[in-house]
Structure 1
């Protein structure tokens, strides 16, 4: 089991050993963060931190979704954020599980959370003074870290829309499918995350200060905006995919038409050459020395005439 702990008061910020975090009798906030959810973490949370089984189960669960629940005199919060580690396409965001009461915050992550470093910097910089500040900073840092990723999805889709006329259908379809898949994965968690942050901002409790509620509301608004943008990206991706499918169908139809026109041009020529290729008596002018040149000229005239007729009807492009 690995992790760290901080003890914070109005004048000091001190990083301490997690095994001595609960013996501190000084400070307005003790934050303990564990970076695993295995049996050792469960044992520490149960025996050393003396948390209830319900809270320990929530902090160490293998699968979570964003939520906020009030329990006794504290709040249980699950949030999702970007991770530096490689995650699956169906679960693209890492989770952080938080249990907060007056004076103590316990957080657990199974994957490395990108926003955690920013939260640590704020704690070490003396910007965090109570549990409400810490959770608000978690929500703000996570949404701020996700915002560029959502904007990048929109930029990639914009590039696909601009490249529709360049004819690179296969490459564009691959990009659009990736953008759509990522947007769906992010949106799956951002909608419940917005609801969880909004619920947290409205929870009763003197350990959540009014300024913390304002920061949580701002983070919820930002999450809502990103969820709306992801929904727009998903819908635009579907439209671009349909446009690419139509372009592909038009290409196939055009190529099929060109092949059909070529077959129609050569059909009478094949008939004439096949007829005079028979090894039988009675073919017209078969014994004349000029017959070969005459047949070649006739085939050329027929080919030009048929091609000119197709061009006039605009069945083929010039």
Structure 2
């Protein structure tokens, strides 16, 4: 089984085997498992002796941040950054925690960047009980996400200051990437805030008053980041619309330039076409008034088309 176990007892932390952790006691016994469900469920049910209603959320494949009271403890699912290559739509890895008095089971399917820092706090005996361990996870996860959210806002600030029709495609890629990241993070931060708020209000003496205050602070930070991500998403949509307008304006300007060039050559084209006509075989081609008749027909056609434009108010709209 891929994982580790740690015991905090009498103010001292030490690493123990997974088998010994099942029967160990102390202020905190932390059992962490990493892997896929086929290997996890038999160990949790057979060796650790956890009931099915505790094992099911620990080994679930599809998860979202939540908090559920289970008997004298709680199940908490949190999402944080991972060094693994995750899907764009699911950019945060989950850590599932079942905490009760003196004991915490945690499960991850992907590596969590917050894990080494949390483990170091436990090894240094800075974590004294299950409440402290959940607080450590919540603070590390929110602390890592905070600068990333700020960077997304700074990216949009730079794009807003560099709006230009000549950089439409480059800026659109940057804005789209920032918007996708903001949507992916916000998808989990909003329920994570609700989960932490619910956890801080759960009854039970395994959560101390100081733990509840720290969890509430982490929930407030998650709420602030969720609001900032929503603002980033809206700003990205507005910048995208502005870039689209700039691109359309650039196309209109180029179309106008092409139209001006066409109007310059249009009379010349008409004259060369008129003087270069092959009149052989045309009725009345040998009459002295034939050329004047052709010009008259052209004038009548031009006048008719102009009158149609005036009748439809197209000339007024164009001006």
TM-score over 0.5 for the pair: yes
Aligned residue for 1:86, secondary structure, equals coil
Query: Counterpart of 1:43?
Result: 42
Query: Counterpart of 1:64?
Result: 63
Asked if the contact 2:75–2:98 (Cα under 8 Å) also holds between the matched residues in 1, the reply is yes
Query: Counterpart of 1:23?
Result: 23
Could you give the per-residue CA deviations for residues 32-90 of structure 1, whole angstroms, max 9, x where no partner exists? 00011322211111111111101101000000010000011110000001110111111
RMSD of equivalent CA atoms: 1.7
Query: Counterpart of 1:127?
Result: 126
Asked if the contact 2:96–2:106 (Cα under 8 Å) also holds between the matched residues in 1, the reply is yes
What is the Cα deviation at residue 167 of structure 1?
2.2
Q: Which runs of 4+ in 1 moved over 6 A?
A: 279-282
Aligned residue for 2:82, secondary structure, equals coil
> Is 1:247 aligned with 2:265?
no
Asked if the contact 2:6–2:31 (Cα under 8 Å) also holds between the matched residues in 1, the reply is yes
What is the Cα deviation at residue 278 of structure 1?
5.2
Query: Counterpart of 1:260?
Result: 259
Query: Counterpart of 1:234?
Result: 233
Query: Counterpart of 1:11?
Result: 11
Asked if the contact 2:197–2:216 (Cα under 8 Å) also holds between the matched residues in 1, the reply is yes
Aligned residue for 1:168, secondary structure, equals helix
What is the Cα deviation at residue 91 of structure 1?
0.7
What is the Cα deviation at residue 276 of structure 1?
4.3
- How many Å separate the matches in 1 of 2:24 and 2:212? 28
Query: Counterpart of 1:169?
Result: 168
Count of matched residue positions in the alignment of Structure 1 and Structure 2: 282
- How many Å separate the matches in 1 of 2:260 and 2:83? 56
Q: Report the more deviating stretch, 4-13 or 100-109.
A: 4-13
Asked if the contact 2:164–2:246 (Cα under 8 Å) also holds between the matched residues in 1, the reply is no
Structure 1 alignment gaps of length 5 or more:
283-314
Aligned residue for 2:146, secondary structure, equals helix
TM-score with structure 1 setting the length: 0.85
- How many Å separate the matches in 2 of 1:199 and 1:192? 10
- How many Å separate the matches in 2 of 1:10 and 1:175? 53
- How many Å separate the matches in 2 of 1:90 and 1:54? 28
Aligned residue for 2:14, secondary structure, equals strand
- How many Å separate the matches in 1 of 2:139 and 2:180? 25
Query: Counterpart of 1:186?
Result: 185
